């Protein structure tokens, strides 16, 4: 075989490889657009019942119920099989603070699968989305982490929410900050201080695959299985704020151990 023939074959291989990447990217783009349309349609369907807890705050449990149906239907129609695992049975009538790892925007609907009715404490970016932001800002607690007043207000609102009987989802990394998932960044204290102050359990939550299905730095879906693992609650009764680091470390280690197991 001449050098010319070898170079031609290598060139053909490169073209074929490029074509494969293009086709994969095209399919992922179509999947992402389709998923966005499904998300929008389901939002419009569930908007009327979501107005109930906005108009009648005592019906806040509706938020968790509707989120659950929304998330399940979203994953079914977008063809992302999901699995929910409870390592210890969660009492549906009890209050918890749920602390999941956070590498992907897909983590938000994934936490909607939560068997316990909850509201979210998250970045105020969601409020900028037309119509959806209106609903999100009135049903959940938003925070602008660049502003001290906003952070203080979110703490006050979180305390009030717990006093009203609500459970919360707080992402202890403070957003999608990891540059090398599935490695987490350091946890912030807020969720753990709140849990100890209010003497309610903290539930570590591992979301092992979402960073692959929908990377935080790339809004393109990949096909995959969505998994969410609710670990055994960590009790805070009798603890003081001196125990914040101990609880934080235990939650971090629980999630990190699970992530390593799933992402060897």
Average pLDDT, the chain: 92
pLDDT of residue 248 exceeding 90, the answer is yes
pLDDT of residue 173 exceeding 60, the answer is yes
Q: Give the rounded percent of residues in the chain with a pLDDT score beyond 90.
A: 78
| Structural domain total, the chain | 1
| Residue 169 tokens, joined | 């989802």
Which residues lie across from 205 on neighbouring strands?
100, 230
For residue 217, the model assigns a pLDDT of: 85
Mean pLDDT value of segment 141-145? 89
For residue 3, the model assigns a pLDDT of: 52
CB 104 within 8 A of CB 176: yes
Q: Which of 156, 249, 159, 168 shows the shortest CA–CA distance to 198?
A: 159
Residues 6 or more apart whose Cβ sits within 8 Å of residue 147 = none
pLDDT of residue 30 exceeding 60, the answer is yes
Residues 6 or more apart whose Cβ sits within 8 Å of residue 145 = 123, 151, 174, 175
CB 144 within 8 A of CB 182: no
8-state DSSP, 140: S
For residue 61, the model assigns a pLDDT of: 94
- The Cα–Cα gap between 207 and 196 comes to 24
pLDDT band for position 224 (cuts 50, 70, 90): very high
Burial class (CB in 10 A: 0-12, 13-18, 19+), 259: buried
Mean pLDDT value of segment 116-141? 86
- The Cα–Cα gap between 245 and 155 comes to 18
Identify the domain containing residue 26 by its residue range: 3-262
Choose the most confident range, by mean pLDDT, from 132-136, 148-152, 228-232.
Answer: 228-232
* CATH at residue 18: 3.40.1130
CB-hemisphere CA count at 13 Å for 231? 25
pLDDT of residue 1 exceeding 90, the answer is no
| Residue 95 tokens, joined | 């209050």
pLDDT of residue 263 exceeding 50, the answer is yes
For residue 4, the model assigns a pLDDT of: 53
Instruction: Report the predicted TM-score, pTM, of the whole model to 2 decimal places.
Output: 0.91
pLDDT of residue 10 exceeding 50, the answer is no
* Range of lowest pLDDT (4-8, 161-165, 181-185, 200-204): 4-8
For residue 231, the model assigns a pLDDT of: 98
pLDDT of residue 182 exceeding 80, the answer is yes
For residue 15, the model assigns a pLDDT of: 56
Residues 6 or more apart whose Cβ sits within 8 Å of residue 190 = 155, 158, 170, 172
Specify the DSSP element, H or E, that contains 98: strand 97-100
Q: What is the pLDDT of residues 36-50, one digit of tens each?
A: 999 999 999 999 999
């Amino acid at each position: 075989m001449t050098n010319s023939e070898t170079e031609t074959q290598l060139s053909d291989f490169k073209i074929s490889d490029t074509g494969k990447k293009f086709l994969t990217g095209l399919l992922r783009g179509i999947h992402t657009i389709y998923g966005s349309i499904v998300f929008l349609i389901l939002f419009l369907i569930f908007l009327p019942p979501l107005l109930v807890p906005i108009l009648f705050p005592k019906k806040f449990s509706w938020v968790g119920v509707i989120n659950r149906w929304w998330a399940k239907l979203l994953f079914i129609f977008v063809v992302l099989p999901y699995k929910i695992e409870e390592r210890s049975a969660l009492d549906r009538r009890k209050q918890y603070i749920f602390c999941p790892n956070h590498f992907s925007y897909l983590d938000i609907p994934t936490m909607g699968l939560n068997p316990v009715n909850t509201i979210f404490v998250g970045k105020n970016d969601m409020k900028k989305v037309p119509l959806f932001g209106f609903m999100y800002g009135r049903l959940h607690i938003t925070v602008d982490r660049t502003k001290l007043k906003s952070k203080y207000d979110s703490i006050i609102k979180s305390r009030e929410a717990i006093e009203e009987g609500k459970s919360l989802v707080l992402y202890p990394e403070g957003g999608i900050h990891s540059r090398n998932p599935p490695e987490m960044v350091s946890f912030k204290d807020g969720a753990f201080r709140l849990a100890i102050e209010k003497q309610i359990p903290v539930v570590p939550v591992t979301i092992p695959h979402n960073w692959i299905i929908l990377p935080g730095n790339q809004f393109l879906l990949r096909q995959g299985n969505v998994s969410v693992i609710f670990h055994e609650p960590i009790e805070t009764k009798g603890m003081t704020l001196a125990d914040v680091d101990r609880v934080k470390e235990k939650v971090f280690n629980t999630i990190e151990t699970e992530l390593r197991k799933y992402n060897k």
